Amino acid sequence: MTWQGRTVFALLYSTVFVSLVASQGTNLGGGITTRIAVGEYADLSLDLRDIRAFVDANNMNSALGMYLQGSHAEFVAGQRTPLKITTDAVSSAERTTPWYLFHLYGLASLSTDPMELEQHKSYAGNYIQKVFTTNLEVAESAILALGLWMYATHLLFDGVAICEMRTRADNPALFNLAGGGMDEFIALWIGSDQTVATANGHGLYAWAHTIGERFGTASPEAVVNVRLKALYQEGSGTLTVSRACTSANQNSVALLHTTAVQMTNLMVIPLYQWLIYSLIEQDAAAVKLYATALIPQLSKCRPSTFKRLKSSLLNDSINFDKTNATIRDLQSSYYCFDITCEDIGIFNGDNRLQCIRKDEDRRIAGFLPSKSTEPLHRMDLDVKQLKMLTAVQGTLFAQLLYSHGSNVPKARHSENDPFTYHSLSELATTTARQDADPIFSDYTSYHGDKDYAHKYITSVLSGLSKWTTPQQNGEAVGLTSAYHILFVTAVGRMNAAIKSCHGAAADPNATVGETYQWDEAAMLIIGSMEGPILGGSPDLGDGEFTYGLANRHAFQFNTRNDLGYSKVISDIENLLFAGKGELDAGDCDNFERTANKLQKILFVPVIQSSIASASESHSLSPSSTSLSLTRGEIFSMSVIPIIHTEDPLIAELLMRLAKPSKTQLVCRV
Sorted by sequence, the CB contacts under 8 Å of residue 364 that are 6+ apart come out as 377, 522, 523, 526, 527, 528, 530, 531
Closest CA to 390 of 481, 451, 301: 481
Residue with Cβ nearer ligand NAG (216 or 237): 216
Closest CA to 203 of 96, 46, 349: 46
Contact 363, 526 (CB under 8 A): no
Q: Cβ of residue 625: shortest distance to ligand NAG, in angstroms?
A: 28
Angstrom distance (rounded) from CA 14 to CA 229: 26
Cα 326 versus chain centre, distance: 22
Compute the Cα dihedral for 105, 308, 320, 210 and give only its sign.
Answer: negative
Angstrom distance (rounded) from CA 610 to CA 668: 11
Residue with Cβ nearer ligand NAG (218 or 301): 301
Residue with Cβ nearer ligand NAG (299 or 559): 299
Angstrom distance (rounded) from CA 655 to CA 492: 25
Angstrom distance (rounded) from CA 500 to CA 52: 64
Contact 525, 509 (CB under 8 A): no
Q: Cβ of residue 203: shortest distance to ligand NAG, in angstroms?
A: 33
Q: Which of residues 44-83 bind ligand NAG (CB under 6 A)?
A: none
Residue with Cβ nearer ligand NAG (281 or 507): 507
Find the binder of ligand NAG among 2, 23, 61, 351 (CB under 6 A): 351
Residue with Cβ nearer ligand NAG (317 or 623): 317
352 lines the binding site for ligand NAG (CB under 6 A): yes
Q: Cβ of residue 107: shortest distance to ligand NAG, in angstroms?
A: 12
Q: Cβ of residue 289: shortest distance to ligand NAG, in angstroms?
A: 17
Angstrom distance (rounded) from CA 60 to CA 37: 33
Distance spanning both ends of the chain, measured CA to CA: 59
Residue with Cβ nearer ligand NAG (507 or 589): 507
360 lines the binding site for ligand NAG (CB under 6 A): no
509 lines the binding site for ligand NAG (CB under 6 A): yes
Q: Cβ of residue 344: shortest distance to ligand NAG, in angstroms?
A: 16
Closest CA to 575 of 359, 364, 367: 367
Residue with Cβ nearer ligand NAG (321 or 562): 321
Q: Cβ of residue 75: shortest distance to ligand NAG, in angstroms?
A: 38
**DSSP summary character for residue 409:** B
Q: Cis before residue 532, ω within 30 degrees of 0?
A: no
Q: Cβ of residue 320: shortest distance to ligand NAG, in angstroms?
A: 9
Residue type, 524: L
Residue with Cβ nearer ligand NAG (351 or 416): 351
Binding mask 164-193 for ligand NAG (x = CB under 6 A): ------------------------------
511 lines the binding site for ligand NAG (CB under 6 A): no
282 lines the binding site for ligand NAG (CB under 6 A): no
Sorted by sequence, the CB contacts under 8 Å of residue 286 that are 6+ apart come out as 138, 141, 274, 277, 278
Cα dihedral: 555, 308, 340, 353 (round 10): -130
Binding mask 459-498 for ligand NAG (x = CB under 6 A): ----------------------------------------
Residue with Cβ nearer ligand NAG (77 or 506): 506
Q: Cβ of residue 49: shortest distance to ligand NAG, in angstroms?
A: 36
Residue with Cβ nearer ligand NAG (327 or 640): 327
Kind plus residue range of the DSSP H or E element containing 425: helix 424-429
Find the binder of ligand NAG among 311, 354, 570, 574 (CB under 6 A): 311
Angstrom distance (rounded) from CA 583 to CA 500: 10
507 lines the binding site for ligand NAG (CB under 6 A): yes
Residue with Cβ nearer ligand NAG (33 or 323): 323
Residue with Cβ nearer ligand NAG (354 or 558): 354
Q: Which of residues 90-149 bind ligand NAG (CB under 6 A)?
A: none
Binding mask 444-463 for ligand NAG (x = CB under 6 A): --------------------
**For 28, phi and psi rounded to 5 degrees?**
-100, 5
Q: Cβ of residue 351: shortest distance to ligand NAG, in angstroms?
A: 5
Closest CA to 597 of 665, 498, 475: 498
315 lines the binding site for ligand NAG (CB under 6 A): yes
Closest CA to 73 of 92, 60, 89: 89
Q: Cβ of residue 536: shortest distance to ligand NAG, in angstroms?
A: 15
Residue with Cβ nearer ligand NAG (118 or 507): 507
Residue 33: beta bridge partners?
27
Residue with Cβ nearer ligand NAG (87 or 312): 312
Residue with Cβ nearer ligand NAG (314 or 650): 314
281 lines the binding site for ligand NAG (CB under 6 A): no
Residue with Cβ nearer ligand NAG (56 or 507): 507
Contact 26, 38 (CB under 8 A): yes
Find the binder of ligand NAG among 24, 134, 324, 570 (CB under 6 A): 324
Q: Which of residues 601-640 bind ligand NAG (CB under 6 A)?
A: none
Q: Cβ of residue 294: shortest distance to ligand NAG, in angstroms?
A: 16
Q: Cβ of residue 307: shortest distance to ligand NAG, in angstroms?
A: 9
> What is the 3 state secondary structure string of 505-523?
HHCCCCCCCCCHHHHHHHH
Q: Cβ of residue 504: shortest distance to ligand NAG, in angstroms?
A: 11
Sorted by sequence, the CB contacts under 8 Å of residue 151 that are 6+ apart come out as 85, 86, 87, 89, 90, 188
Residue with Cβ nearer ligand NAG (352 or 499): 352
Helix axes 379-391, 98-107, angle to 10 degrees: 80
Q: How many residues bind ligand NAG (CB under 6 A)?
A: 8
Contact 42, 191 (CB under 8 A): yes
250 lines the binding site for ligand NAG (CB under 6 A): no
Sorted by sequence, the CB contacts under 8 Å of residue 118 that are 6+ apart come out as none
Q: Cβ of residue 341: shortest distance to ligand NAG, in angstroms?
A: 15
Contact 250, 53 (CB under 8 A): no
**DSSP summary character for residue 109:** T
Q: Cβ of residue 275: shortest distance to ligand NAG, in angstroms?
A: 17
Sorted by sequence, the CB contacts under 8 Å of residue 418 that are 6+ apart come out as 255, 412
**DSSP summary character for residue 364:** B
Q: Cβ of residue 106: shortest distance to ligand NAG, in angstroms?
A: 13
Angstrom distance (rounded) from CA 24 to CA 229: 19
Q: How many CB atoms lie within 10 A of CB 315?
A: 12
Q: Cβ of residue 508: shortest distance to ligand NAG, in angstroms?
A: 6
**DSSP summary character for residue 659:** P
* Site residues for ligand NAG per CB under 6 A: 311, 315, 321, 324, 351-352, 507, 509
